[in-house]
């Protein structure tokens, strides 16, 4: 193998994940090249495998990593080789127009352009990976935050908490979180920190139900046992103030609107599928007169966001490390962990892989 080539795990061709050999990434003047030390697969990686976000080929997967800096560009001032850093899944180009307007998601008119890994750039399941604008997009791993907890901030906590931000949860709100995989569990924790009153969590995996209660869920509803709309309306006495969608299928959108009271807010952080159609009877939206606010979003990125999320860990306000149920060791184990994430075994919440 030439020294300019490296191994990575990703989409060889549509629906076919496997090992790839690719060019080692080049470092621009503001950028960094990292060696991953701890990584995790995400449900979104498996969505890509199944073509839910369009088919990809010859693309390295992975967008959740702690890494060691191997090389920095000549204009990078905050980092040097050997530093251990936390890498947000979303790494905006901070000079782009929408980013300057405070919209951390899209650079211009195309959606999710700040989410480079997984959409158009090789990801972190590689011997080396590239991060643009390192000074603005990387955070040093604080000595008092475990790498596992820090890894859960880069996507799970950032996304779950974004659901809470979109829903604008306030003191005493009656909140429903639909889906309590790792993303929804973080939304439950964020809702509790934001002062929600009632927090109804919808899901069935026993591990997830247990952690949902530990993070602050006051009620658990199973979507496998009866209509969730009726159950949430009954439990809240008329409808939730705020509903966060963090799982489910194309029916879930209409259910979320139906279980929200008039003047309430629906916040979606679930990744729907290209083949999905989202629809609902107009009366669920009060024939357009209900002032039910429907919002959606991909998580913000950048160093400051991740540093602030890690402050919550440092001061004991939340422990996202609880999400980790499976630990693998060695680069070659990415394959096994990825397939575990796809199968969603009943005892799984989140697997991590130490690249040691």
Which residues contact ligand NDP (rule: CB under 6 A)? 42-44, 47, 155, 159, 178-184, 202-205, 208, 223, 246-249, 252, 269-271, 298-299, 344
Nearer to ligand NDP, 44 or 265 (CB): 44
Residue 41 Cβ vs ligand NDP, minimum distance, rounded to whole Å: 9
Nearer to ligand NDP, 73 or 239 (CB): 239
Nearest to 350 by CA among 39, 40, 50: 40
Nearer to ligand NDP, 16 or 224 (CB): 224
Q: DSSP string of 182-209?
A: HHHHHHHHHHHHTT-S-EEEE---HHHH
148 is a site residue for Zn ion (CB under 5 A): no
92's contact among Zn ion, ligand NDP, none, with CB below 5 to 8 A by partner kind, is: none
* Alpha carbons 10 and 48: distance in angstroms, whole number: 10
155 is a site residue for Zn ion (CB under 5 A): yes
Residue 205 Cβ vs ligand NDP, minimum distance, rounded to whole Å: 4
Nearest to 124 by CA among 64, 185, 192, 51: 64
Nearest to 64 by CA among 356, 299, 339, 344: 299
Residue 109 Cβ vs ligand NDP, minimum distance, rounded to whole Å: 19
Q: Where are the beta strands (DSSP E) in 137-259?
A: 139-140, 175-178, 199-202, 219-221, 240-245
Nearest to 183 by CA among 210, 164, 204: 164
* Alpha carbons 63 and 48: distance in angstroms, whole number: 12
Residue 146 Cβ vs Zn ion, minimum distance, rounded to whole Å: 20
Instruction: Measure the CA angle with vertex 111, ends 85 and 73; round to 5°.
Output: 35
Build a one-symbol-per-residue string for 31-60: x at contacts with Zn ion by CB under 5 A, - elsewhere: -----------x-x----------------
299's contact among Zn ion, ligand NDP, none, with CB below 5 to 8 A by partner kind, is: ligand NDP
Nearer to ligand NDP, 167 or 178 (CB): 178
Under a CB-based contact definition with an 8 Å cutoff, are residues 122 and 26 in contact? no
* Alpha carbons 115 and 137: distance in angstroms, whole number: 12
Residues between 15 and 34 with contacts to Zn ion, criterion CB under 5 A: none
Nearer to ligand NDP, 66 or 166 (CB): 166
* Alpha carbons 207 and 161: distance in angstroms, whole number: 20
Which CA distances in Å does 54 have to 15, 44, 87, 350? Answer: 11, 12, 25, 24
Nearer to ligand NDP, 66 or 246 (CB): 246
Residue 252 Cβ vs ligand NDP, minimum distance, rounded to whole Å: 5
Nearer to ligand NDP, 126 or 299 (CB): 299
Residue 223 Cβ vs ligand NDP, minimum distance, rounded to whole Å: 4
* Alpha carbons 206 and 325: distance in angstroms, whole number: 12
269's contact among Zn ion, ligand NDP, none, with CB below 5 to 8 A by partner kind, is: ligand NDP
Nearer to ligand NDP, 256 or 310 (CB): 256
Residue 33 Cβ vs ligand NDP, minimum distance, rounded to whole Å: 25
180's contact among ligand NDP, Zn ion, none, with CB below 5 to 8 A by partner kind, is: ligand NDP
**SS3 call for 89:** coil
DSSP label of 116: -
* Alpha carbons 203 and 237: distance in angstroms, whole number: 21
47's contact among ligand NDP, Zn ion, none, with CB below 5 to 8 A by partner kind, is: ligand NDP
- CA 345 to chain CA centroid, Å, is 19
Residue 162 Cβ vs ligand NDP, minimum distance, rounded to whole Å: 6
Residue 67 Cβ vs ligand NDP, minimum distance, rounded to whole Å: 19
Positions in the binding site for Zn ion (CB under 5 A)? 42, 44, 155
């Amino acid at each position: 193998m030439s020294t300019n080539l490296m191994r990575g795990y990703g989409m060889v061709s549509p629906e076919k994940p496997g090992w790839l050999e690719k060019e080692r990434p080049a470092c621009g003047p503001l950028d960094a090249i990292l060696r991953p030390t701890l990584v995790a697969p995400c449900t979104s990686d498996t969505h890509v495998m199944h073509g839910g976000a369009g088919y990809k080929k010859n693309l390295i997967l992975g967008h959740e990593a702690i890494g060691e800096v191997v090389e920095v560009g000549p204009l990078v001032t905050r980092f040097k080789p050997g530093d251990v850093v936390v890498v947000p899944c979303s790494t905006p180009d901070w000079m782009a127009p929408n980013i300057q307007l405070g919209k951390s998601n899209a650079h211009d008119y195309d959606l999710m352009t700040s989410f480079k890994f997984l959409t158009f750039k090789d990801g972190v399941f590689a011997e080396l990976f590239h991060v643009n604008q390192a000074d603005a997009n990387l955070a040093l791993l604080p000595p008092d935050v475990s790498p596992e907890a820090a890894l859960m901030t880069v996507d799970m906590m950032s996304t779950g908490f974004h659901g809470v931000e979109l829903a604008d949860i306030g003191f005493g709100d009656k909140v429903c979180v639909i889906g309590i995989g790792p993303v929804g569990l973080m939304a439950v924790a964020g809702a509790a920190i934001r002062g929600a009153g009632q927090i109804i969590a919808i899901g069935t995996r026993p591990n997830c139900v247990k952690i949902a209660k530990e993070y602050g869920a006051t009620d658990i509803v199973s979507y496998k046992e009866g209509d969730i709309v009726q159950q949430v309306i009954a439990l809240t006495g008329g409808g939730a103030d705020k509903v966060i969608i963090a799982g489910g299928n194309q029916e879930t959108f209409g259910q979320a609107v139906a279980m929200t009271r008039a003047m309430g807010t629906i916040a979606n952080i679930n990744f729907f599928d290209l083949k999905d159609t989202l629809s609902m009877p107009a009366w669920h939206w009060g024939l357009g007169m209900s002032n039910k606010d429907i919002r959606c979003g991909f998580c913000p990125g950048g160093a400051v966001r991740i540093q602030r999320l890690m402050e919550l860990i440092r001061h004991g306000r939340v422990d996202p490390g609880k999400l980790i149920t499976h630990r693998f060791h060695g680069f070659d184990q990415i394959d096994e962990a990825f397939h575990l994430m796809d199968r969603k075994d009943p005892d799984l919440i989140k697997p991590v892989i130490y690249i040691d």
